[in-house]
Amino acid sequence: MQSFINKLRNLFYTLQSNRLYLLIIALTLLHIVPIWLFTYFPSQDGPSHIENAYTLLHYFDHEALYNQYYYLNLDFVPNWLSHIELAFLMLFVSPLTAEKIFLTIYVILFVLSIFYFLKSVDKESIFFTLFAFPFIYNLLLHKGFYNFVFSVPLMFLTIGYWWRRRNIRLDWGLFAGLNLLLVFLFFCHIVSQLLAIASILFLTALHYRTEVKKTLLLAVALIPSYIFPFYFLYIFLYRQSGQSHAERWIPGGSWGYLFKIGSLISYDLREHYVSQSLAVLLAGLVIYTILWEKIGLSGRRLRLNITLRDSFLLLAIVFSFLSVYMPNNMSSGTLVTERLNLYPFLIILPWLSSNMWKPGKYVVGALAVTLILFHLAFTTYHYKLLNAGLEEYTSGIPFVGKNETILPVIFKHDSKESGRIGVYLHAIGYYCAAKGSIDLSNYEAQRIYFFPLRYRSSMDPFTSIGTKEDIRPWAYPRPIDYILLWEPRERFAALEWIEKNYTLIHSQGRLKLFKRLGPLEKVLQTNSSF
């Protein structure tokens, strides 16, 4: 007990004497505030993840009807993390609170992983942890790609784990640790896992240089971590044979997106002032590092040999080319360019020189903190605006019953405030998680193979109901209990059928919620028309 108290005392004295640590802790806490400040965390796919985690948790409940509509996809798919973690948290708290805890863990993990990664390379590099904060609230998080955004910090944690042990003898302990991290990383997202494997093997080859056998030994030892992505790529590319497609950005546009760190822009083009300023600041640090560390302004001669630390610059260059030239959409994978846009700016951080004149370091730190606070304030402001819209969208929750089906028809999935985020696209998930309803627009259960739940073929609405332009609710094999219209047009093809077979039970702003008429209600409605 006394040793534990002494450790706490030493930690307190360390924090007290290190203002950078205190600043990192303060900024981390500030980044947690927006998650808890509002009722909803406004994201595109987030409500769907909440809904499907809730469905998994209650799938085998005796009174639930989920197994009539879904079956479990037990394939090794790289999207299990958020569903399992959210479902576990829902054992103790409400679905919305579970999401908040989940996102709080993400923020803390992001900071700790980048801190660990930088400290593993060089203790002086922890200063550049400041530059990781703007990447926490990125486009992919607001798109609701929870599994992917978790994978980003875990990737750097894994690389940091290898770096700390690079001079230790290759043994089963190292192999086991790396494989466990990489397999866990697969169940977050395959892209980060493959980049982590490639980065570690690349760093290992440079570290051992002529000792090729050691690099080959590690490559062989990591075979357990290859099994899952090889299986995934083989099975799912095979299943989508003839359906695959690839869409590529124009390279010039991709380079522009890279250099302005486009994945930091979610809601408003004004955000590019922050992202471009951050890009300029990082470019200045790159130039400073080249001039000071490589060319010799510090009094040293030109250094032509490549050290292991210089490999982070090479990785940043490789990641940059990948983000520009990889197809943006491949089969069912989307926003590849936006995802890859994050990696170059984080992988280069340990390469940057922290050997600065002290006042200059304070200036760089102050500029970084200013950009962090602007980005956080702008994001929080939009959370407030979008919560007002989500309160309107979810105002019909009290009118929906358990085990009843609901079909949302969303005519406009975004708003002026939501920018690049389709914040209402899957917001029906809030209804389903709150009331145990069954969503007939659950994109995760569509036949795309990436998620734990799949529609049973006879109950798949995507093959029968159609889209908002030609929606056909009558074509579903079972009567639909509720139809939710969001920003409906004055007239559309199915409106007359809906008004004849359903009654409007709730309307607020852009929302209209209809409930199916029972047999007696239909008779009464027919009689009242005479």
438-458 pLDDT, tens per residue?
999 999 998 666 788 999 999
Domain residues for the domain of 256 are: 2-385
- Assess if residue 108 is contained within a domain: yes
Please state, in angstroms and rounded to a whole number, the distance separating the CA atoms of residues 38 and 41: 7
**pLDDT at residue 159 is higher than 60:** yes
- Assess if residue 419 is contained within a domain: no
Q: Alpha helices, DSSP H only, in 436-514? A: 495-501
* Least confident among 49-58, 144-153, 289-298, 497-506: 289-298
- Assess if residue 523 is contained within a domain: no
Of residues 466 and 332, more confidence is placed in 466
Mean pLDDT of the chain: 87
- The closest of 291, 275, 203, 314 to 420, measured between CA atoms, is 275
Q: Provide the total of helices (H) and of strands (E) in the chain, helices listed first.
A: 21, 9
pLDDT digits (tens, 9 = 90+) for 219-262: 999 999 998 888 887 766 666 544 445 555 555 567 888 989 99
DSSP structure class, residue 292? I
- Determine what percent of the chain is predicted with pLDDT higher than 70: 87
The b/e string for 8-43 (b: 16+ C-beta within 10 A; e otherwise) is eeeeeeeeeeeeebeebeebbebbbebbeebebbbb
**pLDDT at residue 331 is higher than 70:** no
Decide if 31 contacts 136 (C-beta within 8 A).
yes
Please state, in angstroms and rounded to a whole number, the distance separating the CA atoms of residues 476 and 473: 6
Structure confidence at residue 518 as a pLDDT band (50, 70, 90): confident
* pLDDT at residue 12 in the model: 52
- Assess if residue 179 is contained within a domain: yes
* pLDDT at residue 429 in the model: 96
- Assess if residue 151 is contained within a domain: yes
In this prediction, residues 292-312 reach a mean pLDDT of: 68
**Residue 515, φ and ψ in degrees, nearest 5:** -120, 140
Please state, in angstroms and rounded to a whole number, the distance separating the CA atoms of residues 257 and 269: 13
**pLDDT at residue 524 is higher than 50:** no
**pLDDT at residue 494 is higher than 70:** yes
* pLDDT at residue 307 in the model: 77
* pLDDT at residue 296 in the model: 63
In this prediction, residues 312-340 reach a mean pLDDT of: 84
pLDDT digits (tens, 9 = 90+) for 77-106: 777 888 999 999 999 999 999 999 999 999
- Assess if residue 478 is contained within a domain: no
**pLDDT at residue 203 is higher than 70:** yes
- The closest of 278, 11, 257, 270 to 130, measured between CA atoms, is 278
**pLDDT at residue 42 is higher than 50:** yes
Q: Alpha helices, DSSP H only, in 326-357? A: 336-340, 343-347
Decide if 416 contacts 424 (C-beta within 8 A).
no
In this prediction, residues 353-374 reach a mean pLDDT of: 92
* pLDDT at residue 125 in the model: 93
- Assess if residue 489 is contained within a domain: no
Q: For the chain, what is the domain count? A: 1
- What's the whole-model pTM score? 0.91
**pLDDT at residue 9 is higher than 60:** no
- Assess if residue 303 is contained within a domain: yes
